[in-house]
Amino acid sequence: MTSIAHTKALAAMSARSLRIAAARFASAAATGEASAAEGRTAAAGTAPRRPNWLEENCGDVPTHPRKQDDEISEMLRGGHAIQVAHNEFLRAKLSSARRGGATAYDEAHVQTLQELKAVEEKAIERIENAVKERGFRFRPSALIPLVQCSNAVVGGALTLFGENVSTSYVTGVKIAISDYYNDQIREIYEKKPEQTELKELFKTARDEELEFVDAHTPDALDPNSKEEDSNSVVTFAKASSKVLLQISKTV
């Protein structure tokens, strides 16, 4: 009997110890959870709250990458329009030349036209990338469809007059484009000196346009030369391109 009573007493003590240990563990767990909750609350209070732009009075709602500048928009609009126009002109010339017959050019001139077309495509891509990657904003000219159509007609028609006329016309257009970019660069220096990216974009486009003129008709860049004045095709191409530029820039 004594042994049985002793065993029961030990069992009761063990059960009591287990209850005490369980109670202490539960208390510690509750304390830890409370501390963690307080920590999360404190962190939430100090962490910056990400604005929800769908809420009212949420603060700095982003509208555009950068505010549209009407003067910059006009600069880019004119450059984009004339590059698109000249690209279409060259495409029409190449298409007509490939048909052969009276409109055929020799292989060297066709290769030159292809290289010039690649330059125009690169210039257009450069302007479009400036919008996508650098945040510049401009409205393309509303005359783009008309410009493309008219230059396609002119490009196809001029193929009938031979390579000399072709070279002279391209020279006049490229001089007009380079003059346009020079004017924009000058305006940036005077009015918007902070627009260094735009200035460099125009410089690159201008230099690429002048490479052809310098290589094929270097006298056209000489201010003392009378060759440009005596070449009616160059004069006509230059004047008509400048008119196109001014109209496309504003419409």
Residue 21, domain member (yes or no): no
Question: Token pair for residue 220?
Answer: 């056209």
Q: Is the pLDDT of residue 14 over 70?
A: no
Q: Identify which has the larger pLDDT, 217 or 116.
A: 116
Residue 109 domain-assigned (yes or no): yes
pLDDT range class, residue 221, cuts 50, 70, 90: very low
At 46-95, the pLDDT tens digits run 445 555 545 555 555 555 555 677 888 899 999 999 999 999 999 998 88
pLDDT of the residue at 163: 83
What is the domain-level CATH number for residue 196?
A: 1.20.1260.10
Q: Quick: pLDDT tens for 123-140.
A: 999 998 888 877 788 888
**Residue 208 tokens, joined:** 């690429």
216: pLDDT strictly greater than 60: yes
Asked if residue 217 has pLDDT above 80, the reply is: no
Evaluate whether residue 17 is within a structural domain. no
- Residue 23 maps to a domain: no
- State the pLDDT at residue 104: 65
CA 219 to chain centre: 35
Question: What is the structure's pLDDT at 224?
Answer: 53
- Exposure class string for 99-133: b at 16+ Cβ within 10 A, else e: eeeebebeeebbebbeebbebbeebbebbeebeee
Report the pLDDT averaged over residues 160-164.
83
Average pLDDT rounded to a whole number, residues 175-204 = 93
Q: How buried is 235 (Cβ within 10 angstroms: 0-12 exposed, 13-18 middle, 19+ buried)?
A: middle
Considering the entire predicted model, what is its pTM? 0.67
Ranking 113-117, 214-218, 232-236, 239-243 by mean pLDDT, the lowest is 214-218
Q: Is residue 62 included in any domain, yes or no? A: no
Q: What is the mean pLDDT of the chain?
A: 76
What is the model's pLDDT at position 156?
85
Per-residue pLDDT for 247 more than 60?
yes
CB atoms within 10 A of CB 175: 24
> Which range is most confident: 30-34, 171-175, 208-212?
171-175
Considering only residues 36 and 242, tell me which one the structure prediction assigns the higher pLDDT: 242
Domain range enclosing 137: 70-219+227-250
Residue 1 lies in a domain: no
Q: Is 31 a domain residue?
A: no
Tally of domains in the chain:
1
Q: What percent of the chain has pLDDT over 70?
A: 65
Q: DSSP state, 192?
A: -
- pLDDT at position 202 is 94
160 occurs within a structural domain: yes
**pLDDT (0 to 100) of residue 45:** 47
